Structure 1
């Protein structure tokens, strides 16, 4: 298998040193090292990523792309495909901090309304004791809680939240709540599936932040950006793909104008209505280029006076 070139190494190094990059930044780096625009050379771009992942697979890593479910933007990052205790040793977070992060993630994905976030107060009230699972507990014995978990204070939780947001494992929503960061969407794909997090009906990715069907008996979830892709096309029936319930999709002003124009557009066999032609003629006579000389205007005024008499 051919080795990776310096161009491949540059792409990997950019993601390792800077962390996850949005699509625009990553494409800019790719264009800088290859001289090709990914938008017009999609096949070359895909081949580059495929070659990188074939090499990274030997060390259980992967260059992966995903969408941020809060804004729909595509991001790229390098993730570790092995989640074991040894991997945790490579992080800068302590065991209580990792347990706290896991508790926040579980609280967010377990929200039945699929809002994709929890309040800061709810995050700070998460109990680390719930993250402890030992052999004695599974056998009905007393639960052993590490002292570090018991002594993990509110101030330590606040500091950990700030660090997780800064490192893009979590994010702060515009209304001040706590949501998942782009690193979580990149790294927890397998975890979402293993823990049966409901998926989007369109893209089949975890529906952490998604719109839900109005039918209470229906479990269909669809991401906001997937809704736009599915329902923005004209003449598409906007109903739930699961139960057929009418889906409340907010139509933009531009889409509404386009649909109205298409509905009112006359067919080729039907001539335009009469009043429209009359208005066009009226506007044409008022054009300064078509107005006659002063003598013709005077004759028009004379005829009008005669009609009045």
Structure 2
């Protein structure tokens, strides 16, 4: 296979230097460097991405797309596909900062209401001691002050690992959605019943005994089909979805819920458990649902080695709502 040309290099460099880019921005760069309109040359665009990923795989990197679960936008970025001690050395964050980030991620994915956010106050009150893997708490964890936590949040938001919501709460940044895809899967974070991606920010089935959750943009894609009955795919409960006239479509094969680029997701299998995790009260008076527990072991890199241009499969079975340590 011929080596990458300067056009491929420009696309890679744009993502490395600017960070994750919106779909429209990345496609605009493609059009500028190739002189081809994206709308008329989508196959060429996919060929470019496929060739780039074949070369990046030799150095354990991947050009990947994801959908931001807060604004439904598609973003492209380059991620590290391995997690080892050597890759950790490349992080600009200190050990306490990484532990603090882990604590925020843990709190967000544990949200029983699937709002995908945590209040700034609750984030600042996260105890780093809970992120330790041994009984001896590192001194750096104990000395990590409130002002250092505030500064860390600002840095994580700036680097797109976290995001500031309009209501002042904190959510996951687009880089987290790009890099944590494999972690979400391996730790059995409840997935969207439509696209099989982690349902960090999602709507819940009205039946509180049902564990189905669906992204808002996936609901729109699913229920905008005129012949589709608006019921929960798990328990059959009527789903309170109001369809705007502009959303109605005729065909059943319309699916805008998944990004055009991403690794194939394996069908999730239910796993056994010795017992339910200890429940915790939900925040802000949200409806009471079973709270799940998860141990975060994130080091700033994904671990997927799957091909990048394979459409993800729909889930054959629904996951349990439990996350196991």
Structure 1 and Structure 2 fold alike (TM over 0.5): yes
TM-score when scaled to structure 2?
0.75
- Identify the residue that residue 308 of structure 2 maps to in structure 1: none
- Identify the residue that residue 285 of structure 1 maps to in structure 2: none
Q: Once the 2 structures are TM-superposed, how far is the Cα of residue 253 of structure 1 from its aligned partner?
A: 5.5
- Identify the residue that residue 140 of structure 2 maps to in structure 1: 148
Q: Does residue 1:203 correspond to 2:168, yes or no?
A: no
| Equivalent residue for 1:239, pick from 231, 240, 252 | 231
Give the 3-state SS of the residue equivalent to 2:38 in structure 1.
coil
- Identify the residue that residue 93 of structure 1 maps to in structure 2: 93
Give the 3-state SS of the residue equivalent to 1:179 in structure 2.
strand
Between 38-47 and 149-158, the greater mean CA deviation after superposition:
38-47
Give the Cα–Cα distance (whole angstroms) in 1 for the partners of residues 40 and 121 of structure 2.
47
Give the Cα–Cα distance (whole angstroms) in 2 for the partners of residues 174 and 39 of structure 1.
33
- Identify the residue that residue 56 of structure 1 maps to in structure 2: 56
TM-score when scaled to structure 1?
0.79
Residues 47-71 of structure 1 deviation map (CA, whole Å, 9 limit, x = unaligned): 1100000000001100000000001
Give the 3-state SS of the residue equivalent to 1:72 in structure 2.
coil
Give the Cα–Cα distance (whole angstroms) in 1 for the partners of residues 147 and 64 of structure 2.
34
- Identify the residue that residue 149 of structure 2 maps to in structure 1: 157
Q: Once the 2 structures are TM-superposed, how far is the Cα of residue 40 of structure 1 from its aligned partner?
A: 2.3
Give the Cα–Cα distance (whole angstroms) in 1 for the partners of residues 158 and 32 of structure 2.
27
Give the Cα–Cα distance (whole angstroms) in 1 for the partners of residues 119 and 20 of structure 2.
25
RMSD: 1.5
Any unmatched runs of 5+ in structure 1?
Answer: 135-142, 260-309
| Equivalent residue for 1:213, pick from 180, 193, 205 | 205
Any unmatched runs of 5+ in structure 2?
Answer: 251-325
Q: Higher relative CO (CA 8 A, sep ≥ 6), structure 1 or 2? A: 2
Give the Cα–Cα distance (whole angstroms) in 1 for the partners of residues 122 and 242 of structure 2.
31
Give the 3-state SS of the residue equivalent to 1:38 in structure 2.
coil
- Identify the residue that residue 140 of structure 1 maps to in structure 2: none
- Identify the residue that residue 131 of structure 2 maps to in structure 1: 131
Give the Cα–Cα distance (whole angstroms) in 2 for the partners of residues 75 and 38 of structure 1.
16
Over alpha carbons, which structure has the higher Rg?
Answer: 1
Q: Is the 8 A contact 2:64 2:178 kept in 1?
A: yes
Q: Once the 2 structures are TM-superposed, how far is the Cα of residue 217 of structure 1 from its aligned partner?
A: 1.4
Between Structure 1 and Structure 2, how many residues are aligned?
A: 250
Q: Once the 2 structures are TM-superposed, how far is the Cα of residue 254 of structure 1 from its aligned partner?
A: 4.5
Q: Once the 2 structures are TM-superposed, how far is the Cα of residue 85 of structure 1 from its aligned partner?
A: 2.5
Q: Is the 8 A contact 2:220 2:247 kept in 1?
A: no
Q: Does residue 1:173 correspond to 2:165, yes or no?
A: yes
- Identify the residue that residue 275 of structure 1 maps to in structure 2: none
Indicate the structure with greater helix content.
Answer: 1
Residues 233-286 of structure 1 deviation map (CA, whole Å, 9 limit, x = unaligned): 223210111111100113225559x99xxxxxxxxxxxxxxxxxxxxxxxxxxx
Q: Is the 8 A contact 2:67 2:74 kept in 1?
A: yes
Between 189-198 and 243-252, the greater mean CA deviation after superposition:
243-252
